[in-house]
Structure 1
Amino acid sequence: MPLPFFKPLLAGATFSERLIACLGAGVGIALTYLAGTLAPHGTLPAIVAPLGASAVLVFAVPASPLAQPWPVIGGNTISALVGIAVWRLLPDPAVAAGLAVAAAILVMSLLRCLHPPGGAAALTAVIGGAAVHGAGFDFALVPVALNSVTLVVAGLAFHRLTRRSYPHRPVPAPKSASGILPTDIDAALEEMHESFDIAREDLDQLIARAQAHAAQR
């Protein structure tokens, strides 16, 4: 039963699940920071701020397509590279900041590694100051890529220990008894003109399970 003061924003979330996510994120960020201190990083920080947002996704919503290993590692690293490239071409903070984030979204989408913190990684590459600008493209490797890989490894270990699926592998939905086909779901999504943070296979399974419960009434 949900606690009276805890009204979950996400469907299926419970207070105990959030506590586990808090523990995982805390451990994951601590390990990521420690790994960053062990690598030569000069005047750059051992960990970059976008990793805090990555930790929320990896540990609080591990089933999200945006939280999977490739989006975390690829999204952050590629976006940092994009941000650095934009800054070198257009060293004007206002123009470069907007263009870097916009370009990062486009590149992440094309490479199937859309990850919201990637936008922050691209922005950091532009507004990070002299240390980031001086590091150039190396900034995308250390600390960004190193941080991202460490966080994903921590997520893999933590979710295995807590018996959660990560990387998330959607289970194929049983055949629908109502006649709803995957193409029907695609058509409905297209009509809504919205993007939802759920894998297509998970959506199919959710509908099938809801139909099964409805049939038992």
Structure 2
Amino acid sequence: MRALLDRWLPSPTTASRREQLRAAGGALFGLLLTALLGQSMAPGALFLVAPIGASSVLLFALPASPLAQPWSAIGGNVVSGLMGVLCVRWFGDVLSTPLLCALAASTAIAAMFALRCLHPPGGAVALTAVIGGPAIHAAGFAFPLVTVLVDTTLLAVMAMLYNNLTGRRYPHAQQSAHPNPHATKDAVPTVRLGFKPEDLDAVLKQYNQVLDISRDELESLFMQTEQRAYQRRFGIISCADIMSRDIISAEFGTSLEEAWQQMRAHRVAALPVLNRARRVIGIVTQTDFLEHGGLDDYRSIRHQLQRFLRKSGVTHTEKAEVVGQIMTQHPTTARLDTPIVDLVPLMADSGFHHIPIVDEEQRFAGIITQSDLVAALYESRFAEAAA
């Protein structure tokens, strides 16, 4: 009996309890405000229909799903309602109710596929138009074009507000999981080996079924799975194992001239910027000096750099005087126990050259450069080959 249940029951959800509560809270918030606003806009009339409850499951529990996007929800519900009303108008006197229900739902699915707005609750909207009773039949086209349209639009707006405020991107616009930071046509380094986007497209075409996950999310999951497999294969090397610890740093008020001289003297391309508690508040790189110094003419670069670094000598000036005025604020950091493979996409794909490392109290502990990462990966590969 247990084996039979395991075979037919779905796998346990991977969503945390916090995520489950977040989705439930979103449905409470979204449906309550949708009902109240709908009731105020149409007092005494039909202001909320049952399929909107099904839509709330998708919009708040699965905000990344292609089936839950605003056009899918609004377009899918409205066009399905129209199909249901048309079936009643055209075939209500000649077909039995069961056949009419089946026809409404099937034509709704076909219409949603054609308009690229597949939304499962749309099937329930189509059935509601057929078996919803005299009030819905009397409303006619006002049912999908007013009631359903207003309800779904209000719910989608609530989903946009709630999901973004609780850390979920919505609408989930399709985007490349690994955009090239240099704006060229080359694929980012991490996808030049292993599976490529074209491989994923070919497999999805061969699979030939609707997936309840966006393509970019699926690609991202595959990449993360590859990273996990790499960790298991080569062992876990943490940032603490390879980072540089004796690091020259700067403060917000460090002068530009002093920072530049420190970088030149120690032959480094970046300085982490720390506050008095040794927490990372920014990072200043050679690129920051070039960009803020207006060093776009190589013939006068030495003269411009000297002028940029030299103090103005006045109290109030628009010219940058200290590191804090040109640094990159809130830089990406990693923890001491972060596996170095987690840094590969950051450095290879996102274009970071230096990543500050912080301890459990978020205090600066060291820094890892691209050279450190390459050396560590080379050593791990060499060790595996020797074994």
The alignment's TM-score, normalised by the length of structure 1, stands at 0.89
Alignment of 1:1-217 (within 5 A): 9-10=12-13, 12-40=14-42, 43=45, 45-91=46-92, 92=95, 93-174=97-178, 175=188, 176-217=191-232
Q: State whether residues 53 and 117 of structure 1, in contact with CA within 8 Å, keep that contact through their aligned partners in structure 2.
A: yes
Which runs of no fewer than 5 residues in structure 2 stay unpaired? 1-9, 179-187, 233-387
Q: Provide, for residues 150-177 of structure 1, a one-character-per-residue CA deviation record: whole Å limited to 9, x for no partner.
A: 0001111111221211111345233425
Contact between 1:100 and 1:122, CA under 8 Å: does it hold in 2? yes
RMSD: 1.9
Number of residue pairs the alignment of both structures matches: 209
Counterpart in 1 of 2:304?
none
Tell me the SS of whatever aligns to 2:99.
Answer: helix
* Residues 190/171 of structure 1: CA separation in 2 closer, same or farther (3 Å cut): closer
Structure 1, unmatched stretches of 5+, are: 1-6
Q: CA deviation at 1:196?
A: 1.6
Larger relative helix fraction: 1
In terms of mean alpha carbon deviation, does 169-178 or 141-150 score higher?
169-178
Alpha-carbon deviation of 1:191?
Answer: 4.0
Tell me which amino acid in the other structure corresponds to 2:78. T
In the superposition, relative to structure 1, how do residues 70 and 9 fare at CA in structure 2: closer, same or farther (>3 Å)? farther
Distance (Å, rounded) in 2 between the aligned partners of 1:79 and 1:169 = 23
Overall identity of the aligned pairs, in %? 45
Aligned residues of 1:170 and 1:199 also touching (Cα < 8 A): yes
TM-aligned CA deviation for residue 142 of structure 1:
2.5
In the alignment, the residues of structure 2 paired with residue 108 and residue 180 of structure 1 have an alpha-carbon distance, to the nearest angstrom, of 32
Q: In the alignment, is the contact (CA less than 8 A) between 1:173 and 1:208 conserved in 2?
A: no
Q: 1 or 2, which has the higher strand percentage? A: 2
**SS state at 1:94 partner:** helix
Residue range with higher mean Cα deviation, 87-96 or 116-125: 87-96
1:179 is paired with a residue whose SS is coil
Provide the residue aligned with 2:370 in structure 1: none
Letter in 2 for 1:200: R
RCO higher in structure (CA 8 A, sep ≥6): 1
State the partner residue of 2:288: none
**Distance in 2 separating the partners of 1:193 and 1:57:** 22
8 Å CA contact 1:90–1:96 kept in 2: the answer is: yes
More deviation in 142-151 or 194-203? 194-203
CA distance in 2, matches of 1:194, 1:72: 20
Rounded Cα–Cα distance in structure 2 between residues aligned with 1:94 and 1:170: 39
Deviation readout 1:64-123 (Å, 9 max, x if unpaired): 111111111111111101110111111132221101100000110111110000000011
Shift of 1:188: 2.6
Q: How far apart are the structure 2 equivalents of 1:71 and 1:169?
A: 12
**Secondary structure of residue in 1 paired with 2:138:** helix
